[in-house]
Structure 1
Amino acid sequence: MTARDLNGTVDDATLREVVRLACRAPSVHNTQPWRWRIDGARLELHVDRSRQLTVADPDGRDLLISCGAALHHAAVAAAGLGVPAHVVRFPDASDPDHLATLTLAPGSRTPRALAELHALEQRRTDRRRFTSWPIPDERLAKLAASVEHHDVHVLPLTDVSVRFRVELLISRAMTLQDGDEALGEEQRRWIDHSRSDGVPSDRVPDVDVYPSHRRSRFSPPPSQDSRHQLVESTDGLLAICTEKDDRTGWLEAGEALSGLWLHATTDGLSVVPLSQVIEVAETRVALRHEVFGALVAPQILLRIGWQEIARSELEPTPRRPVEDVLLP
């Protein structure tokens, strides 16, 4: 069966393959908070509210960023399979959880589309510590410029004083989250959540900020040495920011995250999202005003680095079967 039938339309097998590949998108704690509906040659993306982190993400910012990444993955998959999509965001004003509709039609498979599809299949979230090889500023700037959405700004953070302030805010956010028992319990539920979602415990390194290593409120505060420096001086640091701090901006930030991550994968770079500083209201406000001058709304920070060449390749983290994410 091919991507088009005798009438030149898109067949069901191809539509399901686009959904499968879209579900490879990164999501907060691998919650995969999306549902899809196949309607003829159209795919509808809907948010799955049952998978929202109600303690860490009461406004749904991370939820929409995750869905935006899935939307971009779907568009990349469709183009790579030769059925490029026309995307309409928020097509139904009466249904805010209907995030986008993609209309697919047979077309050509360009070299760029094939390269992006290959990057999609190779992309991983590798939380293992980077090597000490620095990321050149020009390489970071090129990666930032790869995002082409006019309402999204990807800003390299290279100034020493700016990085120092950002690292202090990240540390402050971590400290505030460490003392939140409900938050810790919510995040622990997504470690080894099931065979098809959540974060496998063997993917959480010993030195990291992930919730399985969160101390309880009764534990003594860790020393600076025991916590380890979250952002090394050789790491690249990028901020994905939007002009609007609303549902539209969050969805667009997720699309930008996906596009940037695929470009990084092609360039042999590793990406680790840092969302804590955005999730905590105090540090989010400080980041927006003290670092970005209130000109844009930061949505997510990214650490960029190199993984060791000889390091073993990670298997994909688990994903829900296509049947589980399809709406009737």
Structure 2
Amino acid sequence: MNERVIRPYASPGAEGDADVIDLAGIRVPAQMLRRLVSLAIRAPSVHNTQPWLWRIHPDGLDLHADESRRLTAADPTGRNLVISCGAALHHLRVVAHASGLLADVDRFADPDDPTLLARVRFTPAPPPRTAAADLRAVQERCTDRRRFTSWPVPHGRLNLLAQAVERDGGYAVPISDVTDRFRVDLLAARAHRLQERDAAITAEVQQWTHRNAYDGLPADHLPARAPVPDKIPSRFDEGLLPDDGQEVESGDGVIVICGDDDSRASWLRAGESLSALWLTAVKDGLSVVPLSQVIEVPETREALQHQVLGDLAVALLLVRIGWQPISRGQLAPTPRRPLDDVLMA
């Protein structure tokens, strides 16, 4: 009998696993699927809410939206929640392939269950040559909100990031025109001012800031300075993270992740695009900060679509890209919920 048992790539603890799941004829250690989920949930999420739930079953993995973690004030439609889950889905696809499993994704597989975002099945496949770099990028990826250096991000680099999104099936537009970039900065500042005046939104930000050891935004990951008159201000309060960068004109770049429409399917794909862009940026030494405020405010979202994108696509997320100083140490990833908290029975 020619029986194949898939073992996780670069995961030495799996050899002793007794529990094996039969995935369509592929025998996979149950601990391997747990390991894949533990890496997938390293994905970015709005306010580090980690709004996902996973179920391991005989056919593979299911990804569900955890509606209890939706930001009801800033994200009433659940757009940011689904985008966050899309990023985790792409992380899963990447780490599975690096482990010798190709993910076949059925998105929105059950119309009667709106929380089921994706059903994932696996087939054996040789890991790509980039497997080690892909896993390292997933493990090192973090959101560093400290000020970027003034070194400009060349347009060619932004185009390469947009191409990484397109190769994954998404759509991203680098903002290279000076006038368009000025408009984006104005819209970001406008969205920030409008949300600052919204008591429910500011209370929600407070709720997810300095929250606990497992989710939200800890003080040691927020810059230790009061907000400065920057082109794109931060919505978060002063933290404990040293940020002694000079007040200089930033050379950062901006990319808009887009969709054909403002549907849940487009939101999920936008999250996958965010992950594809971010992991590519990590390998290139670039730092990424997602900016959702412009999209959260209807006035600025519509202006971004009309004035910058010319109504050729629907804007779903703004992403800021830049360089961290060479002398600055690597920021540790933000904490994550225990694995058993995100695995459904």
TM over 0.5: yes
1:210 aligns with 2:210: no
Call closer, same or farther: CA 1:150–1:30 in 2, change over 3 Å: closer
Q: What is the one-letter code of the residue matched to 1:301?
A: L
Q: Secondary structure of 1:68's match?
A: helix
Q: What is the one-letter code of the residue matched to 2:187?
A: L
Call closer, same or farther: CA 1:151–1:13 in 2, change over 3 Å: closer
Q: What is the one-letter code of the residue matched to 1:162?
A: D
Paired residues for 1:1-328 under 5 Å: 2-3=7-8, 8-148=26-166, 152-205=170-223, 206=225, 207=227, 209-213=234-238, 232-328=249-345
Shift of 1:199: 0.4
Shift of 1:69: 0.2
Equivalent residue number for residue 3 of structure 2: none
1:220-242 superposed Cα distances (whole Å, 9 cap, x missing partner) = xxxxxxxx99x954111111111
Select between 248-257 and 96-105 the one with higher mean Cα deviation: 96-105
Call closer, same or farther: CA 1:147–1:232 in 2, change over 3 Å: farther
Q: What is the one-letter code of the residue matched to 1:204?
A: L
Measured in 2, the distance between the counterparts of 1:153 and 1:90 equals: 20
1:46-91 superposed Cα distances (whole Å, 9 cap, x missing partner) = 0000000000000001001000000001111111111221111111
Call closer, same or farther: CA 1:150–1:198 in 2, change over 3 Å: closer
Call closer, same or farther: CA 1:232–1:243 in 2, change over 3 Å: farther
Measured in 2, the distance between the counterparts of 1:237 and 1:147 equals: 14
Contact kept? 1:37, 1:327, Cα under 8 Å: yes
Measured in 1, the distance between the counterparts of 2:71 and 2:211 equals: 13
Structure 2: gaps of 5 or more residues: 1-5, 9-14, 228-232, 240-245
Measured in 2, the distance between the counterparts of 1:22 and 1:101 equals: 14
Contact kept? 1:272, 1:303, Cα under 8 Å: yes
Contact kept? 1:10, 1:104, Cα under 8 Å: no
Measured in 1, the distance between the counterparts of 2:238 and 2:336 equals: 23
Structure 1: gaps of 5 or more residues: 215-227
Identity of matched residues, %? 51
Shift of 1:294: 1.4
The count of aligned residue pairs is 314
Measured in 1, the distance between the counterparts of 2:48 and 2:328 equals: 23
Call closer, same or farther: CA 1:69–1:174 in 2, change over 3 Å: same
Select between 187-196 and 46-55 the one with higher mean Cα deviation: 187-196
TM-score by length of 2: 0.87
Contact kept? 1:9, 1:105, Cα under 8 Å: no
1:108-156 superposed Cα distances (whole Å, 9 cap, x missing partner) = 2121333222211111111111111111111111111111357632111
Measured in 2, the distance between the counterparts of 1:110 and 1:84 equals: 10
Contact kept? 2:148, 2:250, Cα under 8 Å: no
Call closer, same or farther: CA 1:112–1:46 in 2, change over 3 Å: same
Q: What is the one-letter code of the residue matched to 2:296?
A: E
Contact kept? 1:151, 1:242, Cα under 8 Å: no
Q: Secondary structure of 1:105's match?
A: strand
Q: What is the one-letter code of the residue matched to 1:110?
A: P
Measured in 2, the distance between the counterparts of 1:77 and 1:40 equals: 19
Measured in 1, the distance between the counterparts of 2:285 and 2:169 equals: 27
Measured in 2, the distance between the counterparts of 1:149 and 1:283 equals: 29
Select between 42-51 and 311-320 the one with higher mean Cα deviation: 311-320
TM-score by length of 1: 0.91
Contact kept? 1:33, 1:63, Cα under 8 Å: yes
Equivalent residue number for residue 219 of structure 1: none
